[in-house]
Every structure is written in C-alpha cells, then in structure tokens.
Amino acid sequence: MIDRCFFGVIPALNFIGRQNSGKTTLLEKLIAELCSRGLRVGTVKHHSHAGFEMDVAGKDSWRHVQAGSRYTVVAAPDKIGSVRQLTGELPVEQILAEMSAAARDASGAPTLDVVLVEGYRSSSLPSVELVRAANPADAARSLDLSGARCVAVVTDIERIAVQAAQAGLPTFGFEQIAALADFIAASLKESAF
C-alpha cells in the first residue's frame, strides 16, 4: 500500500526501472487514467544528467537564466513554472515537501491527491518496479527488492511475475493501466488520504 510519504499531506508513489523499461510511457497512460477518475495528479521526473533545459532558447525566462538568475519563475493566469539553479541534487523527499507547500488553493487545502514520481531508485518512497522483456537491460535480470520499498511490479516477463508473487507483491502487465489505477485508488482510500 501507499504510505503517507509526503510528510503526512500528499501521498507519493515512485516508479523505478532501468532506462528504456517503459516508465514514462506507463506514467503517461496512468496519469490520464487517474485524472479521468477525478484524481488530481502531480508528477516528479528524475533526470540523472546535469544540464537539461525546461525553457526554449531565446525566450524571456531562458534569457533570465542565461543572464545569471538563480531562481526564475514564469507566471501566467493558467500555469506557473520555475527554474532554480542548484549546487547539488535535492533529495526527492525535499522536492515533495516543496511541492506540498506550493500545491495549495487559496484556503490552504492541497490541490493534489497523489504525486507519481519517476526514477528515484534510492528514495524512501514506496515504489513500483518495471521490468520489460523488450529492454536488453532487463532481459536476463532478476527482481531486486533490496533497497527499494517495492509495493507492486509491472512486467511482461513470467519469471519476474513469479518472483513478485513469491514476495507477495501485486503484479501488472504494461497494458493493465486500469488495474494499476485501481490498486493506487484502493491504496489511497485504505490509507485514509
């Protein structure tokens, strides 16, 4: 089940797997499914390489960052975005705490029901492990439950599904989006979020 990992406010669930295991594709479908059910979903994507850009070269906010701004916010009537320069990577728990503080309505109530996190293998968050047959990095590996707080597995490899079942973990196929969404919704209800 999904714990109250978001400092008691908003639950978070981490999706982990090797590169090309299908995390982003699965999350795109899962986000759409959860939103269609009326859940308010936030996301955090771990980018393990320095230097990614959120803004388009030449746009005003990009120009601010290039000029030396350490924290740039773009605010419009319908959305807000920010770029903040860091001296080191923040733990996902700190990012979630900052999201929790920011994701509030005028009365202070949370505006998110759940945050889906992609790619923080070493975090303390409950995790869904993805292992895909078509991924060469996954083809011969076994399910490794050390370190991660695995609560479910998504796979299309029979031996991985068997290992997950032996560990008492729910297992889903990559196309079982509705069933995975059911698991998340039930976990949220059972945890009284």
pTM: 0.85
| Closest C-alpha among 191, 190, 125 to residue 152 | 125
| Closest C-alpha among 185, 146, 152 to residue 168 | 152
Which position has the higher pLDDT, 39 or 120?
39
Question: Where does 4-154 have alpha helices with state H?
Answer: 23-36, 60-67, 92-102
Which H, E and C letters describe 34-78, residue by residue?
HHHCCCCEEEEECCCCCCCCCCCCCCHHHHHHHHCCCEEEEECCC
Both tokens of 90, joined, read: 């923040």
Are the C-beta atoms of residues 171 and 150 closer than 8 Å to each other?
A: no
Rounded to whole angstroms, what are the CA distances from 116 to 11, 34, 46, 61, 164? 9, 11, 11, 27, 21
Instruction: Read off the pLDDT of residues 121-140 as tens digits, 9 standing for 90 and up.
Output: 888 899 999 999 999 999 88
pLDDT value, residue 102 = 86
Instruction: Read off the pLDDT of residues 77-86 as tens digits, 9 standing for 90 and up.
Output: 888 788 888 8
Does the pLDDT value for residue 39 go beyond 90? yes
**pLDDT mean over 26-31:** 96
